[in-house]
A and B are shown apart, each in its own frame.
Chain A
Amino acid sequence: MYLRVAKYLLKRGIALFITVVVAVYISILIANAGGYVDQIIKSELYISISQSVRQNPAYKALNETQVRALIEEFYANELKRIGFDKPFIYRSFIYLMDALSLNLGRSLFISSDSGSRSVRIIILERLPNTILLFTTTQLLLFFIGLLIGLLLSRRYGSILDRIFVLLAPLSSLPGWFYGIFLILVFASFLRILPYGGMVDVPPPTDRFSYALSVLKHMVLPIMSWLVAYSFINIYVRRTFFLMFSSEEYVELAKAKGLPESVIQKRYILRPTLPPIITDFSLTLIASWMGAIITETIFDWPGIGRLFYTASVLFDTPVLIGLVVIYAYLLAVTVFVLELIYVIVDPRIRARGG
């Protein structure tokens, strides 16, 4: 039986890895715009070389054809140095190998706050900001959805339940949209919270007031997402719990006269938890890629802003670095979830794929 499970996991693992490889390769093609970015880099290189040759006093004595020949020679050497003498298709596979081995290289235009051009440092500098903001948000959303959803499913049909169902369509407006309103009310009109950013300018020197300042800047973005997505979360969880509480084994438990809390915990929450956890972990991982528009509206220096800047500037190495990290995270999460299900759910073990 263990062999069968191992074989199943191996098969899933390989399938996931192939997905990651192909997705990264496609994003390499897209991020280079099918070789378009090469043209930009090449022409910039040519201009800078010809300028430096023409301005170099050592070559002043040469005539025009000789200068041209010299420029062409330097240009060809430089292309060879950065590996651009090979066709794009050939290089795209080198990029792929580098990306997959997390050898992320150097960015083309973007530099980190500390001035580094290393893609790894650039990403690692932004990632904590995004994780701080969105993990907090997602955790709050998760618990709000779970607890209120459970409460409403127990009080199905009450006024409270009906109010929440009525409010569910409010979630059709995205978080950043509520963000604009919250900025309008709390920053512009009441002037009690900052418009955006992550910390006061200039940043406070001692640790405690720094943390307090960051916290103050987190309030509005978190609030905007809570307002936007709480209601739909509560609605979905409530409906989910309601469907499960009409199952026969729950009826049986009720008939046996088990206390309400035991029914809640053992008969409703436990069987519904795996899909909820799956949902939550995938949402959490996705949230680490930041939210481009929310971060833009609130000027939050996170991964979403980095993604945006990199896409607009066509900073290919940064883009590919972000995609490859995301793809790996997603694949690992999916794999770990499958592993957990194999352990937890006897049905999957029996099928063995």
Chain B
Amino acid sequence: MPRLKHFFRQLLLYKSATVGLAIILGLIAISIYTVFSIPYSDAIKLWRAGEQYWLDTPRNALPSWVNLFLSKKLPETIILDTENPQVGVSKAIISAGEESSVIKVEFVFDYRYDDFPSEINLFFKSSYNSSPPRLTIHWVKPNGEDIVLKSMLVAKDDRYYISNDEKLARRLRSTFSVKLNRTIGYDLPILVLLFAQEDESLLDPGTAKVMKGTYRLWIDGIAFEKDVKLDAKLVVYGKVYGWAGTDHLRRDLGIALLWGTPIALSFGITASVSVALIQIFIGALCAWFGGKVDTVLQRVTEIFMVLPFLPTLIMISTLYKFNIWVLLLIVILLSIFGSGVKNYRAMFLQIKEFPYVEAARAYGASNFRIVTYYLIPKVLPTIIPSMVLSVADFVFLEAALAILGLGDPLAPTWGKIINDAYVNGALYKGLYYWVLEPSVMLALTSLSFAMLGFTLDKIFNPKLREI
């Protein structure tokens, strides 16, 4: 124990090791938090549920904290739901006689952001027997102007994508053309028409300014039935969401960023530790037994060194869509006959001749005992640095497979996010956060292990320290 304490004191003398260790501890803390707060099955469900689950989040939204650094504030998402009464939501359904009822719904919200929302949708849930309610939807801008958006019959589970309504767009463009006495281009989106200040700047989406103030969406409906029920939900999608933003399927990137941590750590650490230990064992067997055992294992190692590692792995994972833990096993199996075996064998060939090994042999220790108790512990300290350093390689290997589209199809990992971002042209579209967030996590992980590894190298291999 005092030796361990001494070791840690020595380790912390190096600044880079302290930083590295602190980051690793932070990552472990994140992993523990994640595993307990979002169970794995929930995470997969959230990540794989698709757009059915993520209805109320914006597409490709930046993380919320970017607003701290921007002079033009980007909008948050505004959700108003009649099932969830709050200020600004009101609903009334009045039976008018035996045969009909009148529906009134009103959503009022303040909009004080500097940029336009990304989408607006209306979701309906209704129940009726034979006659669906007919609704007229109105939009009232802060200057009091009332625009009829649409008249529609609602089905039981219906939605109205306001920002995609081309018919409405055409109508609005012509109204505004008349009002401003200018032609309005076809590329002017509905959101600008609904939210912009009505002056010359409106003509170009680049210069259009938001009309700040209180907006109102009200619905006037009638149904020819007595017991009609209707609930409506208005979602004004913003351009920022959560601490991590969202991807092209409206999913919260935070889930994959969080869950990526325990997956990356366990993948990297398990792979590096088991590969190193098995390689040492093989090296020790070669050196201790010599002769035929040595020849066979040496040749096997050479064959594996000729085999192309990544293409073999790609072939295997194309053939079978493995989950990440089977993939881990295969990575380990393909790596155990690596060049490390040759290095360890050379080390053991020297150690084999040491007097204490000879002594062990003299008192009759078995082969197994000598290999596991006398040879392997002797080299263990010298290989710990390379073991720590190789964690990063394996973390990146998993990411690389995911980027090629060959990783675990279910697990939310960092590589998966980068893959999604790449496939959807994030860099072309300027959605940098999408690539940067997982990249920063990957970089932090591998840098922390590398900083620790380099310091361990100095401590365990004193020859490096002296010079």
Interface residue B1 (Cβ < 8 Å from any Cβ of A) = no
Quick check: B306 and A23 within 8 Å, CB to CB?
yes
| B427 x A173 contact (CB < 8 A) | no
What CA separation (Å) do A183 and B418 show in the bound complex?
Answer: 14
Contact B443 A20 (CB under 8 A): no
List B contacts of A151 (CB < 8 A): none
Instruction: Give the CA-CA distance A27 to B454 in the complex, in Å.
Output: 36
Q: Which residues of chain B are near A19, meaning CB under 8 Å?
A: 299, 302-303, 306
A116 to B: closest C-beta gap in Å: 22
**Using a Cβ cutoff of 8 Å, how many contacts connect chains A and B?**
127
Interface of chain A: mostly helix, strand, loop or mixed = helix
Q: How far is the CA of A242 from the CA of B465 in the complex (A)?
A: 11
Pull 30 A–B residue pairs with CB atoms less than 8 Å apart, ordered by A.
A23-B306, A27-B312, A30-B312, A36-B319, A169-B20, A169-B453, A172-B446, A172-B447, A173-B396, A177-B396, A181-B439, A184-B435, A188-B427, A188-B430, A189-B432, A239-B464, A239-B467, A243-B463, A292-B311, A292-B400, A308-B311, A308-B404, A311-B318, A314-B315, A314-B318, A314-B319, A319-B315, A322-B311, A323-B308, A326-B308
Contact of B428 among A33, A180, A195 (CB under 8 A): A195
Q: How far is the CA of A177 from the CA of B397 in the complex (A)?
A: 11
Separation of A49 and B186 alpha carbons in the complex (Å): 53
Interface string of B7-38 (1 = CB under 8 A from A): 00000000010001000000000000000000
Contact flag A293-B311 (CB < 8 Å), given A184-B432, A243-B463: no
Beyond A18-B299, A311-B311, 20 additional pairs, beta carbon < 8 A? A15-B299, A23-B303, A30-B312, A30-B316, A31-B315, A172-B392, A172-B453, A173-B443, A176-B400, A180-B418, A188-B427, A289-B308, A293-B400, A307-B308, A307-B310, A307-B311, A308-B314, A319-B315, A322-B308, A326-B308
A184 in contact with B427 given A23-B303, A36-B319, A307-B308 (CB within 8 Å): yes
Partner of B435, one of A33, A180, A239, A242: A180
Which residues from chain B contact A176 at a C-beta distance below 8 Å? 400
Contact B315 A172 (CB under 8 A): no
Contact A172 B306 (CB under 8 A): no
**Which residue in chain B gives the minimum CB-CB distance to A328?**
B306
Residues of A within 8 Å of B362, CB to CB, are none
With known contacts A23-B306, A326-B308, A33–B319 Cβ distance under 8 A: yes
Interface residues on B, range: 35 or more
Complex-state Cα separation, A20 to B404, whole angstroms:
29
Query: In this complex, what residue of A is CB-closest to B395?
Result: A172
Residues of chain B lying within 8 A (CB to CB) of residue A181: 439
Residues on the B chain within 8 Å of A118, using CB = none
Which residues of A come within 8 Å of B, CB atoms? 15, 18-20, 22-23, 26-27, 30-31, 33, 36, 156, 166, 168-174, 176-177, 180-181, 183-184, 187-189, 195, 239, 242-243, 246, 289, 292-293, 296-297, 307-308, 310-312, 314, 319, 322-323, 326-327, 330-331
Shortest beta-carbon distance from A250 to chain B in Å: 12
Distance from A201 Cβ to chain B, minimum over Cβ atoms (Å): 15
Q: Does B449 make an interface contact (CB < 8 A)? A: yes
Give bound CA distance, A327 to B463, whole Å. 36
The residues of B that contact A323 with a CB separation of less than 8 Å are 306-308
The answer, yes or no, to whether B451 is at the interface (CB within 8 Å) is yes
B389 at the interface (CB under 8 A from A): yes
Are A173 and B447 interface neighbours, CB within 8 A? yes
Q: Is B192 an interface residue (CB 8 A)?
A: no
With A and B bound together, what is the CA distance between A63 and B308 in angstroms?
Answer: 52
Once the chains bind, are B404 and A292 in contact (CB under 8 Å)? yes
B450 at the interface (CB under 8 A from A): yes
* A180-B435, A307-B311 known; A172 vs B449 contact (CB < 8 Å): yes
With CB as the reference atom, state the residue of chain B lying closest to A181: B439
Q: What chain A residues lie within 8 Å of B463 (beta carbons)?
A: 243
Complex interface: chain A residues within 8 A of B319 (CB): 33, 36, 314
- Find the A residue at minimum CB distance from B429: A188
